[in-house]
Amino acid sequence: MPSVMLRKREDGKLLFYVAKKDLEETIESMEFDTPDKWGGEVVLGDGSRYYFEPTSPPPKIPTTLQAKRL
Partner 1 sequence: MAAMTREETEALIQEVLEVYPEKAKLDRAKHLAVNDQSLEKANKCITSNRKSLPGVMTIRGCAYAGSKGVVWGPIKDMIHISHGPVGCGQYSRAGRRNYYVGTTGVNTFGTMNFTSDFQEKDIVFGGDKKLAKLIDEIEVLFPLNKGISIQSECPIGLIGDDIEAVAKVKKKEHGKTIVPVRCEGFRGVSQSLGHHIANDAIRDWVLENRDGDDSFPTTPYDVAVIGDYNIGGDAWSSRTLLEEMGLRVVAQWSGDGTIAEIEKTPKVKLNLIHCYRSMNYIARHMEEKYSIPWIEYNFFGPTKIAESLRRIASHFDETIQAGAERVIERYKIEYEAVIAKYKPRLQGKRVMLYVGGLRPRHVIGAYEDLGMEVVGTGYEFAHNDDYDRTIKEMGNATLLYDDVTGYEFEEFVKKVQPDLVGSGIKEKYIFQKMGVPFRQMHSWDYSGPYHGYDGFAIFAKDMDMTINNPCWKNFKAPWKTEAASDAVKAVA
Distance CA 56, CA 37 (A): 5
Q: Which is nearer to partner 1, 56 or 64 (CB)?
A: 64
Binders of partner 1 among residues 21 to 60 (CB under 8 A) are 22-25, 45-46
Which of these segments, 31-39, 50-58, 61-69, binds partner 1 (CB under 8 A)? 61-69
Q: Which is nearer to partner 1, 46 or 53 (CB)?
A: 46
Instruction: Tell me whether residue 23 is exposed, middle or buried, using C-beta atoms within 10 angstroms of its C-beta: 0 to 12, 13 to 18, 19 or more.
Output: middle
Bridge partner residues of 18 (DSSP):
23
Count interface residues toward partner 1 (CB under 8 A).
14
